[in-house]
């Protein structure tokens, strides 16, 4: 018999049997497991050991992948470049341009009859007539350039996004036992037969069977649609499914299905989000249809049901808020919610779209009507095919005006700026999961931060303790303690903590010990080691399998209790938790010399006042350790006698009348860089609030050290209980007007639950107390922080201490868990916002000038001074280059010296509008002077009223060249949007900018000198070039004049483009389609108006990641640890009432 790693190569369970096994639930599942023998027997059949796991031998792991599949779900193949080119060609505007160019091309080969008006022949020669086809071809070339730029942009974006997605997935680790050692491995490396440890906050990456559990509760809403947490145990329901969340407790599991064979994988396959490898293999081997059907049908029903359930899950989840007490509010939905910048750009696009459409139609009407009246009324001409060319040209000019009216380069500017910033933010320990969060962070006005690990180092140490009536300010010697009490303490700490929490020696001599697992538990374990004892001895004596019951930590209990058997019969309960909460459950305490005493209310109050409060005021986290015995025989005063098994579900009765062993004070120092970071936030106009589950005195002390609290600033510091009493009416409903009285002065919310955090965040976001509305960022690390992270405009999850649930609910992951990294995110976010504002200032100036010149030209001389191809060059090519130049400006420290914009402040500020209109008026004046008097001033032939077939004139070439030169120099002006005078500051810190500027200038010289008929240009002399450059450079001087005009003297209402969020406009609502990316079959661009296409592209490019922010299979590399974005457990999870806490921090 063939062997692998010393065991048989064949398994006693097939892939099909395992898949069918995982379809069962509840009691049925228990019965099926019994049919196979037991969980241990299934382990044996898969050649795995429940205690030691797999051996970890590479040959064994590879063989398991070949037989049972790997834990990856193949992504949908990326679209090829040609497919993206084809999609770009579907754009309605480009189709119109192509049709118009085709007509123009056809008419260029049409020869008028011999008897055509002879006067017409005077205006042109045969060579020009032969060159008539060039304009049509030039438009086609412009379209090709636009299409290639669009396709290349989409292609590059998709590659970047897939890379970012892979980076996010690479962060996902899971605890497995191999060769008796607990290892953290990438979820893709998990194989069938692995023994894994699951704990609160985990997102399960595989299907598995429970071997052992402690108070384990799972959120299966992603599969069932039910938000209630499902209790799991070996006796009642041992099946754990991929894509579900561990909400409470811990356990040990045997992996039975991975990748496309897991329940989430089956759903992926059915939805077409993954390549069905089984079907592909069947096709490859040319199996008969019956065999194929048999293979496919074995899971169709269950997966189809699951699919239906998931849809059900979404509908159910969307109605629920995390607090049943709050009603009638708008949820942050995945389909309709926009980021602050997206909302402003939507409104701006609508405003520009209406204006552009109106002017374009008016331009065509004026041109056509004027021409018809002049030719057919005043001159009495008869219709001839020759005149059709005129009408086509007018139509092309109208379409081109529409093209120019919309900032076509804006989507590219947004994408480039966001992608550039995201790449740089990774180096600053910000892993951005959703691109729009990057710019939203720049608008943040309020940050609600956790304390532990974010403001503090999260390296905890016991520095004070109270035992036997003695307050120790340093670690006591073990021999100095009462022997009985010391043994009790060491056992209580060693056993009543997650066995995954460990303290290991530093890698090098002299290094601090490494804390693995929960930091509070590590501090207590470190205290045991400091006493000279080993916690591992107790754990070895009592392995997890022998633990009778665990009451895991959650936000309601704020404590953890473990029930273990006593050696001489009965049970012992060890409890640890927030000191004042555990104290209330204690009836006894060990006093001086280890004497047992009654713990009266007066003694408790005295202990809190004399010991606990002074510790908390020193910034220490206080933890009480207690115990209780259940005995079958004679019971001492602090023990409980029982005749029959106690009812362990009656928690209040079980965890009562405890005996207090000791109180410890744990120090978690403030990160040295945090006070300065908070100062920067406050200087930048951002309010920092601490929301913590810790004691109010500890929170006050840490907040003071951080600089959140300042002497005499009348800041509000309250506990969660008082917070709720202040914001709720008599019916216990949260009222916004009551919340508005609390949050503006609130700086510290202590002893808060995740529900309190959610309520606060939502209240601040929905409040209309401040003029510009608040934009809120939130940090969170735990499972139940999910709702608050989803509700916030930007959710930050902790990369080190954060649970999988928190990370999936977040927008940005702090890879170093450090508050100062949030400040860097603010700086980058503001830079994105400013980069887009700079581009808008530049772009809109170009657009206003081009549109006005085309319109007035149509009215005045029956022609546009800027030809269609020239406007396409200015609008599409220069905009693309300008977006690249302005979008990659590096951030400066000055960004943190101004106030945030807020939610409703106009995207185009009064200063920007002053610059746009000021420069536009100046440029238009120069162009019109050149148009009407340029031939006289420069002593050149006039190009006005030239026939359509006339050769390009020097006069109109100068107008085109001057316009481009003014635009180029104004690009330098556009680098400053806040009225700064030194426009050259930092220009050489951005090589992309000056390289593009010089390249554009070189291209313009080439176009003017050699463009000829294609670009409607005639070569210019050196003198005329100098005149054009002088006119261009004059925009720099004019910019200084505009800066001197006081902005506050301008009216507010006139200058408010792009402010607030779009109203329910039927056209604006089309933008909801933006959440489909270019892989979505329903995303049809055909028939959309130009400016809506630009908007859709913009918002398509701003969405990313496996989240409700963007449901796109095209930009994702799917992973087994989560089900598809549209089916994400977060969508269901973001609504249900929080029942458990995410964090095991004990206070």
Any idea which residues carry the catalytic annotation? 450
CB-based contact 966:1035 (threshold 8 Å): yes
- Whole-number Å distance between alpha carbons of 133 and 219: 67
Q: Six-digit token pair at 349?
A: 């696009």
Residue 794 phi/psi, 5° resolution? -135, 125
- Whole-number Å distance between alpha carbons of 523 and 665: 10
Three-state DSSP at 213 gives strand
* Torsion, CA 857, CA 863, CA 866, CA 867, rounded to 10: 160
- DSSP code at position 770: S
564 forms bridges with which residues in the sheet?
A: 572
CB-based contact 604:644 (threshold 8 Å): no
- Whole-number Å distance between alpha carbons of 648 and 551: 10
CA angle 700, 705, 707 (to 5 degrees): 95
* Torsion, CA 577, CA 579, CA 583, CA 584, rounded to 10: -80
Q: Six-digit token pair at 732?
A: 């216990």
- DSSP code at position 233: B
| Integer angstrom CA distances of residue 64 from 245, 855, 920 | 26, 71, 69
Longest CA pairwise span in the chain (Å)? 128
CA atoms within 13 A on the CB side of 17: 13
Q: Is 509 exposed, middle or buried (0-12, 13-18, 19+ CB in 10 A)?
A: exposed
CA atoms within 13 A on the CB side of 415: 26
- Whole-number Å distance between alpha carbons of 1135 and 1106: 18
Three-state DSSP at 278 gives helix
- Whole-number Å distance between alpha carbons of 162 and 81: 15
| Integer angstrom CA distances of residue 392 from 395, 396, 684, 1014 | 5, 6, 55, 17
CB-based contact 8:47 (threshold 8 Å): yes
What one-character-per-residue DSSP string does 523-581 give?
HHHHHHHHTT--HHHHHHHS-GGG--EEE---TTT-EEEEEEE-TTSSEEEEEEEEHHH
β-strands 746-750, 716-719 pairing = parallel
CA angle 216, 570, 592 (to 5 degrees): 100
CB-based contact 776:757 (threshold 8 Å): no
CA–chain centroid gap for 79, Å, is 24
> How many helices (DSSP H) and strands (DSSP E) are in the chain?
40, 29
First to last CA, the chain: 57
Q: Six-digit token pair at 861?
A: 């001389």
Q: Is 609 exposed, middle or buried (0-12, 13-18, 19+ CB in 10 A)?
A: exposed
């Amino acid at each position: 018999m063939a062997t692998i790693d010393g065991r048989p190569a064949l398994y006693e369970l097939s892939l099909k049997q395992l898949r069918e096994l995982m379809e069962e639930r509840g009691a049925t599942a228990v019965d099926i497991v019994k049919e196979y023998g037991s969980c241990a027997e299934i382990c044996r059949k898969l050649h795995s050991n429940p205690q030691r796991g797999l051996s970890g031998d590479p040959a064994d792991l590879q063989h398991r992948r070949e037989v049972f599949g790997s834990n990856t779900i193949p992504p949908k193949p990326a679209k090829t470049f040609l497919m993206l080119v084809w999609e770009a060609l579907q754009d309605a505007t480009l189709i119109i341009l192509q049709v118009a160019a085709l007509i123009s091309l056809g008419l260029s080969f049409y020869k008028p009859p011999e008897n055509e008006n002879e006067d017409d022949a005077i205006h042109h020669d045969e060579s020009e007539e032969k060159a008539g086809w060039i304009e049509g071809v030039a438009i086609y070339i412009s379209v090709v350039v636009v299409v290639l730029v669009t396709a290349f942009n989409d292609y590059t974006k998709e590659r970047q996004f897939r890379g970012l997605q892979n980076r996010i997935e690479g962060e996902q680790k899971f605890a497995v036992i191999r060769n008796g050692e607990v290892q953290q491995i990438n979820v893709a490396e998990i194989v069938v037969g692995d023994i894994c440890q699951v704990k609160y906050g985990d997102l399960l990456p595989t299907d598995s069977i429970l071997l052992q559990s402690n108070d384990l509760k799972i959120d299966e809403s992603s599969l069932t649609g039910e938000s209630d947490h499902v209790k799991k145990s070996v006796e009642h329901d041992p099946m754990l499914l991929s894509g579900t969340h561990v909400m409470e407790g811990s356990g040990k599991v045997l992996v039975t299905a991975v990748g496309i064979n897991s329940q989430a994988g089956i759903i992926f396959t059915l939805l077409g989000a993954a390549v069905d490898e089984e079907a592909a293999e069947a096709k490859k081997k040319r199996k008969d249809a019956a065999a194929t059907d048999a293979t496919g049908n074995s899971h169709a029903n269950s997966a189809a049901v699951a699919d239906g359930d998931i849809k059900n899950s979404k509908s159910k989840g969307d109605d629920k808020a995390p607090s049943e007490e709050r009603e009638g509010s708008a949820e942050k939905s995945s389909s309709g919610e926009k980021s602050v910048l997206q909302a402003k750009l939507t409104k701006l696009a609508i405003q520009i779209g209406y204006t552009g459409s109106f002017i374009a139609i008016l331009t065509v009407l004026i041109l056509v009507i004027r021409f018809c009246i002049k030719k057919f009324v005043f001159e009495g001409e008869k219709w001839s095919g020759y005149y059709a060319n005129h009408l086509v040209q007018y139509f092309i000019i109208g379409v081109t005006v529409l093209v120019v009216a919309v900032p076509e380069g804006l989507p590219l500017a947004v994408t480039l700026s966001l992608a550039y910033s995201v790449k740089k933010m990774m180096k600053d320990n910000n892993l951005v999961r959703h691109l729009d969060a990057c710019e939203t962070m720049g608008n943040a006005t309020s940050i609600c931060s956790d304390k532990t690990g974010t403001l503090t180092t999260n390296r905890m140490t016991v520095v004070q303790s109270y035992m036997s009536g003695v307050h120790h300010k340093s670690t006591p010697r073990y021999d100095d303690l009462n022997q009985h009490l010391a043994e009790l303490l060491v056992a209580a700490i060693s056993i009543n903590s997650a066995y995954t929490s460990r303290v290991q020696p530093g890698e090098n001599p002299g290094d601090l010990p490494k804390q693995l697992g929960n930091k509070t538990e590590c501090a207590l374990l470190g205290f045991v080691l400091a006493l000279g004892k080993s916690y591992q001895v107790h754990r070895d004596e009592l392995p997890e399998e022998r633990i009778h019951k665990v009451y895991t930590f959650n936000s309601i209990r704020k404590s953890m209790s473990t029930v273990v058997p006593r050696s001489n019969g009965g049970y012992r309960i060890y409890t640890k938790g927030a000191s004042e909460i555990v104290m209330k459950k204690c009836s006894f305490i060990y006093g001086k010399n280890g004497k047992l005493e009654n713990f009266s209310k007066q003694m408790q109050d005295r202990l809190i006042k004399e010991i606990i409060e002074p510790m908390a005021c020193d910034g220490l986290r206080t933890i009480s350790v207690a115990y209780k015995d259940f005995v079958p025989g004679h019971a001492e005063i602090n023990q409980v006698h029982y005749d029959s098994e106690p009812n362990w579900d009656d928690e209040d009765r079980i965890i009562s009348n405890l005996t207090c062993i000791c109180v410890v004070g744990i120090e978690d120092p403030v990160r040295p860089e945090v006070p300065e970071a908070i100062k920067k936030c406050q200087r930048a106009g951002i309010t920092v609030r601490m929301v913590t589950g810790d004691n109010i005195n500890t929170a006050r002390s840490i907040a003071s050290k951080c600089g959140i609290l300042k002497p005499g600033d009348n800041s509000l510091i309250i506990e969660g209980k008082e917070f709720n009493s202040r914001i709720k009416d008599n019916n216990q409903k949260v009222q916004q007007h009551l919340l508005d009285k609390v949050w503006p002065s609130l700086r510290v919310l202590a002893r808060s639950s995740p529900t309190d955090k959610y309520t606060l965040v939502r209240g601040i976001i929905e409040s209309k107390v401040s003029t510009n509305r608040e934009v809120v960022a939130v940090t969170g690390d735990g499972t139940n922080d999910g709702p608050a992270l989803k509700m916030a405009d930007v959710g930050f999850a902790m990369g080190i201490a954060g649970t999988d649930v928190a990370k999936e609910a977040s927008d940005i992951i702090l890879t170093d868990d450090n508050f100062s990294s949030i400040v860097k995110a603010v700086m980058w976010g503001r830079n994105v916002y400013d980069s887009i504002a700079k581009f808008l200032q530049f772009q809109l100036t170009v657009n206003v000038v081009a549109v006005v010149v085309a319109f007035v030209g149509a009215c005045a001389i029956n022609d546009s001074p800027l030809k269609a191809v020239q406007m396409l060059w200015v609008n599409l090519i220069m905009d693309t280059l300008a977006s690249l130049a302005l979008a990659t400006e590096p951030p400066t420290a000055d960004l943190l010296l101004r106030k945030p914009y807020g939610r409703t402040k106009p995207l185009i500020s009064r200063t920007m509008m002053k610059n746009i209109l000021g420069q536009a008026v100046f440029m238009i004046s120069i162009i019109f002077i050149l148009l009407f008097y340029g031939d006289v001033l420069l002593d050149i032939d006039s190009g006005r009223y030239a026939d359509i077939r006339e050769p390009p004139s020097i006069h109109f070439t100068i107008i085109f060249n001057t316009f481009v030169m003014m635009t180029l120099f104004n690009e330098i002006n556009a680098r400053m949007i806040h009225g700064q005078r030194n426009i050259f500051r930092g220009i050489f810190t951005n090589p992309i900018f000056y390289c593009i500027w010089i390249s554009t200038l070189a291209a313009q010289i080439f176009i003017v000198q050699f463009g000829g008929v294609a670009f409607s240009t005639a070569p210019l002399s050196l003198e005329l070039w100098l005149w054009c450059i002088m006119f261009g450079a004059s925009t720099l001087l004019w910019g200084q004049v505009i800066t001197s005009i006081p902005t506050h003297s301008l009216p507010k209402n006139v200058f408010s483009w792009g402010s607030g969020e779009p109203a329910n406009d039927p056209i604006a609502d089309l933008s909801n389609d933006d959440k489909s990316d270019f892989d979505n079959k329903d995303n049809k661009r055909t028939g959309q108006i130009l400016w809506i296409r630009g908007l859709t592209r913009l918002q398509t490019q701003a969405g990313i990641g496996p989240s409700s922010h963007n449901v796109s299979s095209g930009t994702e590399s799917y992973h087994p640890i989560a089900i598809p974005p549209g089916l994400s457990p977060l969508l269901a999870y973001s609504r249900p009432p929080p029942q458990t806490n995410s964090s095991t921090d004990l206070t």
